[in-house]
Amino acid sequence: MVIATNQELNKAMTTINKIAVVSGASRGIGAATAKLLGAQGYAVCINYLHNRIAADEVVKHITVRGGRAVAYQADVSCESQVVDLFNFVDKELGAITHLVNNVGILLPQAKLIDMDAQRINTILSTNVTSYFICCREALKRMQTGGAIVNVSSGAARSGSPNEYIDYAASKGAIDTLTKGLSLEVAAQGIRVNGVRPGFIHTDIHADGGEPNRITRLSPQIPLQRGGSPKEVATAIAWLLSDEASYVTGTIIDVTGGK
Ligand SMILES: NC(=O)c1ccc[n+]([C@@H]2O[C@H](COP(=O)([O-])OP(=O)(O)OC[C@H]3O[C@@H](n4cnc5c(N)ncnc54)[C@H](OP(=O)(O)O)[C@@H]3O)[C@@H](O)[C@H]2O)c1
């Protein structure tokens, strides 16, 4: 068994009341974020859709190091399941103080002329509606302030022509949500920020039909490589932290300069 270091335990003591929900945290950027928050002393709820084994691995990674974590299966595109998720967190960990809206899906690359309404609505309900509803449930509980980070994408700026304009547009909506909500709740001491990852080594590219997409595009990335989930998690954790206490309505690009 891995024992927590003194440094980790000290950090845990100072952040003992921080309770975070990370949506889509069984894999990729969400898993890296949950692990980092767990190491920083947050109690973390790892939300996932299907992959119980991966979610349990993230929980184990945190708890064997002396942290506190639970996993909860919920399809966050479904409003009633989001409500159940937050009620579960109330019971198991307490009232949420920090939210990471991280879920995001891609469908196989296509031009707009070949997209039907069912596809577009699937993207929008998972990538946009879920963020609104998770924010709503978090805000109801953030009576003494809090922080939210919405995971957008560099696609919000590029538009992703010939690949997935639907996905890119969903991320544009998230940037607007981040801006608007940050102004709506700033006076309540709740900060709302975003990150725009780009070209991060996760499973999502295979879902888009091109597992090696980052290899193809690396020469066009100023830093000449894809990023790691941890490099995005670090930006998310900073935005959530008290070190970013005067930062709200801000979106950080984690895109290797692209
Ligand atoms: N990777 C990149 O290059 C990149 C670039 C820009 C932006 N982003 C954004 O970063 C975020 C994370 O992406 P990623 O690449 O880490 O994704 P990923 O590796 O494909 O992981 C997706 C995660 O979301 C969960 N999930 C999917 N649909 C869900 C739903 N309806 N309800 C609850 N959980 C759901 C999955 O759970 P299961 O394991 O149970 O399936 C998994 O934990 C997304 O918002 C994405 O758009 C990624």
187 in a structural domain? yes
Radius of gyration of the chain (CA): 17
38 in a structural domain? yes
62 in a structural domain? yes
Q: What is the pLDDT of residue 10?
A: 44
Ligand 1 geometric centre to CA of 140 (Å):
25
Q: Are 152 and 192 in contact (CB under 8 A)?
A: no
User: What does the pLDDT look like over 80-107, one tens digit per residue?
Assistant: 999 999 999 999 999 999 999 999 999 9
Q: What is the pLDDT of residue 1?
A: 41
User: What does the pLDDT look like over 169-201, one tens digit per residue?
Assistant: 999 999 999 999 999 999 999 999 999 999 999
Q: What is the pLDDT of residue 12?
A: 47
The residue whose C-alpha atom lies closest to atom 46 belonging to ligand 1 is: 104
Give the percent of the chain with pLDDT over 90. Answer: 93
138 in a structural domain? yes
Ligand 1 geometric centre to CA of 2 (Å):
28
Q: What is the pLDDT of residue 13?
A: 42
Number of domains in the chain: 1
Question: Ligand 1 pocket: which of 200, 216, 218, 255 to mutate (most atoms <8 Å of CB)?
Answer: 200
1 in a structural domain? no
182 in a structural domain? yes
Q: Are 16 and 68 in contact (CB under 8 A)?
A: no
Ligand 1 geometric centre to CA of 29 (Å):
7
Q: Are 105 and 126 in contact (CB under 8 A)?
A: yes
Ligand 1 geometric centre to CA of 103 (Å):
5
Q: Give the residue numbers spanning the domain of 10.
A: 6-254
What are the residue ranges in the chain where pLDDT is below 50?
1-4, 6, 9-15
CATH number at residue 200: 3.40.50.720
114 in a structural domain? yes
The residue whose C-alpha atom lies closest to atom 20 belonging to ligand 1 is: 204
Give the percent of the chain with pLDDT over 70. Answer: 94
Question: Ligand 1 pocket: which of 101, 202, 255 to mutate (most atoms <8 Å of CB)?
Answer: 202
Q: Are 129 and 177 in contact (CB under 8 A)?
A: no
Question: Which residues have C-beta within 8 Å of that of residue 242, sequence separation ≥ 6?
Answer: none
Q: What is the pLDDT of residue 2?
A: 44
Q: Are 101 and 45 in contact (CB under 8 A)?
A: no
Q: What is the pLDDT of residue 14?
A: 47
Pocket of ligand 1 from Cβ distances under 6 Å: 23-30, 47-51, 54, 75-77, 102-105, 126, 151, 153-154, 197-200, 202-204
